[in-house]
Amino acid sequence: MTRMPIIRDETLSDRDRQLGDIANRLRQAREGLGATQTEFAGQISISRDRLASYEDGRAILRCDVALRLCRQFFVSEFWLATGAAHEEQFKAQQRIDFSDLDARLAMALALEPAALACPPGCSFADGFDPFLRQQYTILAAQQKGFPRIKPLPSDGMDYFKNALDCMMDFWKRGLSPQQWEDFFTSWLSQGQSLHEQIKTIILQKGS
């Protein structure tokens, strides 16, 4: 686990510092996923310029946008807000960067009623603690160290690709090398079988 010391700029207010930290973590997540600003922005239906303004601090990241990107890219809402993976780590003043897999423990808070409690236009920095933090902690305890996947009928292929890429990293972390090799071989075999079934359906439709 990569731990980062807390470095404070005493010339900034606590809120300004928090806003700057969130902006930095947003950029770190996008870069860690290997996505360009255009690719990242497109998946959450905002412009590249708007994303750039969030990343460099010219605009304050809104709560609804933050929750949307966390769900789409499997970025932990708790990490984006605090820099920590969970409450115990936060209280111990320990922070992690996006290379730590725990920074990807997203709980899909965008789909929770708690998200609707955030006032329209509320910043993520102002909305997380009063409206979302408790619900995140409850869901994270239920998930037991895995992200929460909540697909919607409206989700495109990008969401499912993001989910698969993320979950494979978590599966690999929890399995021994031999278990991972056995699992991956079995998964590929099942995938080939599914491919043949789908191919047959497509060919039958075309005949």
108: tokens are 């899909």
**Is 70 exceeded by the pLDDT of residue 121?**
yes
pLDDT category at 4 given cuts 50, 70, 90 is very low
Burial (CB count <10 Å: 0-12, 13-18, 19+), residue 180: middle
Question: To which CATH superfamily is domain 3-143 assigned?
Answer: lambda repressor-like DNA-binding domains (1.10.260.40)
Angle at 104 between CA 103 and CA 107, to 5 degrees: 115
pTM (2 decimals)?
A: 0.87
C-alpha dihedral, 26 to 155 to 191 to 187, nearest 10°: 40
**Mean pLDDT, rounded, for 143-158:** 96
- Per mean pLDDT, which range of 1-15, 25-39, 43-57, 73-87 is the poorest? 1-15
Is residue 115 within 8 Å of residue 109, measured between CB atoms?
yes
Q: pLDDT at position 207, please?
A: 63
pLDDT category at 206 given cuts 50, 70, 90 is confident
Q: Which residue has the higher pLDDT, 74 or 198?
A: 74
Which among 173, 164, 165, 18 is positioned nearest to 102, based on CA atoms? 173
C-alpha dihedral, 15 to 18 to 19 to 23, nearest 10°: 170
Which among 75, 66, 28, 19 is positioned nearest to 44, based on CA atoms? 66
Q: What is the DSSP letter of 118?
A: S
Q: How many residues does the chain have?
A: 207
